[in-house]
Structure formats: C-alpha cells, structure tokens
Amino acid sequence: MEINAANQPASGKQSRKLKAREGERIAKETLPADSLTERQKEILKITIQEFVNTATPVSSEAIVHRYRLPISPATVRNEMAELEREGYITHPHTSAGRIPSDKGYRYFVEHLMQRPTGLTRLEQNNIQHQFYQIQLDLNEWLRLAASITARTAQNAAVVSAPRAYDSRLKRLELIEVQERLTLMVVVTQDGTVREQMISLDEPHNQEKLTNISARLNTLLHSQNWGQIEVRIKEWPEDLARVVAIRLIENLRTLDQHQNAQIYRDGLTNILSQPEFSDIGRVRQVLHTLESGQAFTSIIPEMLSADNGGVQVIIGGENRNDDLRLLSVVLARYGVDGQVAGVVGIVGPTRMEYNRTISTVEYISELLSSLMNERRG
C-alpha cells in the first residue's frame, strides 16, 4: 500500500488536497504526466473510454477482451488496484468493476485524450451554415448558439450574453411615444442596441427631441459613461441633461452587466443520461441549471481569467456544491478588450470530453468572428 508513496509523495498529497477543495482558481491542478507507468496510462485510458461509452463499471476482463491486450485480467486487476490506490479510479462496491474518479478524468483530459478529433469538417460546415443563413440579431444568435452547442455536444449548453468592457456611445435616438414619454435607443461602438423608456416632466414634440439627440450625438460621440459624467457636470437642468443621465446609467449597466443574460438549452440531453435515473438528482440539477445562480460566479471568473483556452472543471473541482456531480466545459468568445461572453457545456462527469471541448472551442471561435463583423 505504501510502496509508491515514496515514488510520488507529491501526487499523493495533492490528491488529498484536491478533495479538501480549498479556494483554488478553476481548472488549475495540472497532474504530472509521469506519475503513471505506460501500462497504467493505457489501462486508465481504456477504463475511461469504456465507462464513457457503456456507463457501467468496467471489469478487468472486459478490458483485456475488448482491447485484446497481451496480458491477463489478473495483471490488469493488480494495475487497477494500484490506480485506485492513487485515486484515479474507484469501485462502487466489492464485486463491481472500476469507474473513473474526478482525478482520473482530469488525468485523461490532460494527458490521455487524443486531440483534436472532436468535430468533423462536415459538422463544422453545418454549424457555420446555420449561423450565416439569416441575418439575426444578437439575441437570436445566442439562442441559436446555445441550441447548436447543446445538440452537437449532446449535453446542456450555457451561453452568456456578451459583456462590454468599455461601452462608448455611437449613436443615440429619441423617439416620441406619448406627450410625456419618449423612447431612447442607444447604439454603442460595438454594435449593441439598447432601448429604454424615459418619462418626461413636461411635454416635448418629436422635433425638439430630434434636436436634442442631434446635439447629444455630436457632443458625446464615442465617449464612455465616465467621460460623459464629467462632461455634463455644469450643464443646465434641462431635458438634454436628463437624457444624458439616463444614457450614463444605460452604458454603465452595459459595462457591469448585472443583468447578465444566460441562454440555456439541451436540458433534455443531460437528463436522458443513465446517471439521472434518480429523480432526486434530476430535480436538483434542473433547479441548479434553471436558476442559473451556479453560473454567477463561474462565468465572471472565466471572463477575467488570463488563460484564454478552454476550461474544464470536473465534478468535485467545482466550487459550487450543486455542480459537484457535473462537469463544466467553458470557452470565452468575443472581441479582445471590447466584449466577451462565455459558451459552455454542462453534463455528467462521464462525458466525451474530447468532443465537448472541440464543440465549445469551435462555437466560441465562430461567435467571436460574428461579433467581429458587427463592430465598427
């Protein structure tokens, strides 16, 4: 039992640390590639692949048989026992086969998985087609993105609306709705359109409104909310100022994006997985995903991460308790320094990481280039 403790003291401790889950950053603990022998890697890889496909514990016999290994089940058993001691796999009860642990999946994702074999060229083209087919607005793009991602990865998809870093006014329009009610339409430099109602103290006709918006457009063009705030300091208390104040609010909420809209799709996919044969778990997961509150911490974290690539958070690595039994695969999309959002997949830890990662990667690239075309 203590044989290999001397060989990899770090690894042993690290695994315990992982389970203790301190406040680490997401997807960090890179496992050393050389902590396992080649044969152990091979067996771990097969175990994971088999388990991903069949959803049932993998026996020593199944491994040698299905993959025609030149060793006996007994040998495999010995290796598996070792892998279990190291924490890469477990078994649910004595007479059952092995199932991968979170740590096992992590090792797989980092060292064992052959990449990239996720999406075929054909699939990519199909997806691209759906996006370019119609000139949709942002809202519908994101909805579509969620839907396609979910379908492609056969799991639940999450897409966060792009959040701007530094929204600047491109154009503002005031439209009379009623005597004392006007509709303000704000277009920012990156092409986002927002509408807002403003109720006025006294009646104004369209002509007046047009004048004001023309004036504001020239005065405040390409300014962000901070600059506008400074600019209007000594303005008189007239309508122009009222509008400017609403404009500031508007740009500011755009930047902070408290109303960070999340688009979801494909809940059905994940619930049809065998791990969700238990109704209680279904309810819990559904609740988690529907409320979306699990993502309020994870998405901002992803947005501010300096590492640009795909992030994989496996089971217990999740900070959020409700996501403990699920894995999350995330990628950022957007235009550098201007706007950014997140595309993600949520599913059982037993998922095809390769395909999931490829999907999320591809969709995020696609969304990025679409966003790029939008901006001026």
Partner DNA sequence: AATTAGCACTTACGGTGTGTGAGTGCTAAT
Partner DNA sequence: ATTAGCACTCACACACCGTAAGTGCTAATT
Q: Contact residues for a copy of itself (CB under 8 A)? A: 135, 137-140, 170-171, 173, 175-178, 181, 183, 185, 187, 191, 193-198, 259, 265-268, 271-272, 276-279, 282-283, 286-287, 290-291, 373-376
User: Which partner, a copy of itself, DNA, none, binds residue 81 by CB below 5 to 8 Å per kind?
Assistant: DNA
* Interaction between residue 196 and DNA (CB under 7 A): no
Which residue, 28 or 93, has its beta carbon nearer to DNA? 93
User: Which partner, DNA, a copy of itself, none, binds residue 242 by CB below 5 to 8 Å per kind?
Assistant: none
CA distance 111 to 107: 6
* Interaction between residue 91 and DNA (CB under 7 A): yes
Asked whether 220 and 168 are in contact (CB, 8 A), the reply is no
Pick from 162, 158, 170: which is nearest to 138 by CA? Answer: 162
Q: Verify cis geometry, omega within 30 degrees of 0, for the bond prior to 116.
A: yes
Which residue, 89 or 289, has its beta carbon nearer to DNA? 89
Q: Which residues contact 294 (CB under 8 A, 6 or more apart)?
A: 288, 320, 322, 323
CB of residue 194 to a copy of itself, shortest distance in Å? 7
* Interaction between residue 324 and DNA (CB under 7 A): no
Considering only residues 29, 71, 240, 252, which one is a binding residue for DNA as defined by CB under 7 A?
Answer: 71
Which residue, 187 or 335, has its beta carbon nearer to a copy of itself? 187
Pick from 247, 269, 251, 245: which is nearest to 326 by CA? Answer: 269
User: Which partner, a copy of itself, DNA, none, binds residue 308 by CB below 5 to 8 Å per kind?
Assistant: none
Pick from 8, 33, 15: which is nearest to 101 by CA? Answer: 15
Asked whether 162 and 152 are in contact (CB, 8 A), the reply is no
* Interaction between residue 277 and DNA (CB under 7 A): no
Pick from 101, 117, 93: which is nearest to 47 by CA? Answer: 101
* Interaction between residue 53 and DNA (CB under 7 A): no
Which residue, 58 or 146, has its beta carbon nearer to DNA? 58
User: Which partner, a copy of itself, DNA, none, binds residue 221 by CB below 5 to 8 Å per kind?
Assistant: none
Considering only residues 26, 62, 169, 371, which one is a binding residue for DNA as defined by CB under 7 A?
Answer: 62
Q: 198 by DSSP, 3-state: which?
A: strand
Considering only residues 7, 30, 53, 78, which one is a binding residue for DNA as defined by CB under 7 A?
Answer: 78
Letter for the amino acid at 126?
N
What is the 8-class DSSP label of residue 111? I
Which residue, 194 or 241, has its beta carbon nearer to a copy of itself? 194
Would you tell me the crossing angle of helices 60-67 and 38-54 to the nearest 10 degrees? 100
* Interaction between residue 93 and DNA (CB under 7 A): yes
Joined together, the tokens standing for residue 149 give 């991602």
Letter for the amino acid at 359?
T
- Interface residue list for DNA (CB under 7 A): 56-62, 70-75, 77-78, 80-81, 84, 91-98
